[in-house]
Amino acid sequence: MLTEEKEDYLKAILTHDGDHSFVSNKTLSQYLNIKPPSVSEMVNRLEKSGYVETKPYKGVKLSETGLTYTLDIIKRHRLLELFLIKILQYNWEEVHQEAEVLEHRVSHLFVDRLDKLLDYPITCPHGGVIPRENQYKELYTTNLLSFETGDIVTIKRVRDRTDLLIYLSSKAILIDEQIEIINRDDTNKVIIVKKGDQVTVLSYDNAAHIYAEK
C-alpha cells in the first residue's frame, strides 16, 4: 500500500481527468496546495513506481496500474462513507473527512466484507458511483448551471466539499430532493433555487459541483 501522500496525488490526478489526459504539475500544485518543486519530485517517484506516465510540457497521467489502484482508493472511501451513515448514523456532511482518514487504514478484506454488508451499493451517500471492475464513470454529470429558470430538478450527486455539504444540509437540500431553479444572475454569478417555501442562493462555483436531473 502506498503512503497517504502518494494516494492523495493519485486521486488528484484522476479528479482532473488524468485517466485519459495529461494533468499539469501546476494544476496539481494549486489543487493540493503544495509547492511545484515538491509536486515534481513526487510525480517522478510515482513514475518510477509505475503508477503514472509523464510527458514533457504536458504533465502526468495515470498508468493502467495507477488507475486500478486509484479506483480502489475511491471504492474504499465511498463504501466507508456509506457505512458511517447507514450503520454509525453520521450526517452526510460529516463522513467525507472521517473516510479520508480511514481509507488509508483498512485492508482489502475489510473492504470486501463492508461491500457485502452494504449489499454491493451503486453509489455513495453523495451520489458518486462506487467503482467496480474498472467501471467508474459517474452516473450523474449534469450540474445545476446546465438548467434553465423554471426547471424543477432532482439532486442526484454533490461533490465531496465539506463546506458545501454543510450549507446544503442546513437548507435541507439533500440527495433525491427536488428544487426549482428560480433565477440565474450572471452579473453576480449566483443561482437562486427554491425548495418548498425556502429560497437558497448558490454561487456558480458551488452550483457547478451539484448534479441533478429533470
Q: Answer yes or no: is pLDDT of 133 > 90.
A: no
- The answer, yes or no, to whether residue 98 has pLDDT greater than 80, is yes
Q: Last residue of a domain, which of 62, 77, 109?
A: 62
Element at 41 (helix H, strand E) = helix 36-48
Q: Which CATH number belongs to the domain containing residue 189 in this structure?
A: 2.30.30.90
Q: How confident is the model at residue 2 (pLDDT cuts 50, 70, 90)?
A: confident
Give the Cα separation of 26 and 81 in Å (integer). 30
User: Which residues, 6+ apart, have CB-to-CB distance to 148 below 8 Å?
Assistant: 181
- pLDDT by residue (tens digit) across 26-83? 999 999 999 999 999 999 999 999 999 999 989 999 999 999 999 999 999 999 999 9
Residue 147 exposed, middle or buried by CB count within 10 Å (0-12, 13-18, 19+): buried
End position of a domain, from candidates 13, 43, 62:
62
Per residue in 166-211, pLDDT (tens digit) is: 999 999 999 999 999 999 999 999 999 999 999 999 999 999 999 9
Task: Answer whether 158's CB lies under 8 Å from 139's CB.
Answer: no
Domain count for the chain = 2
* Distance set, CA 169 to CA 86, 91, 124, 142 (Å): 17, 9, 16, 21
**Structural domain range at position 179:** 144-213
What is residue 95's predicted lDDT score, i.e. its pLDDT? 87
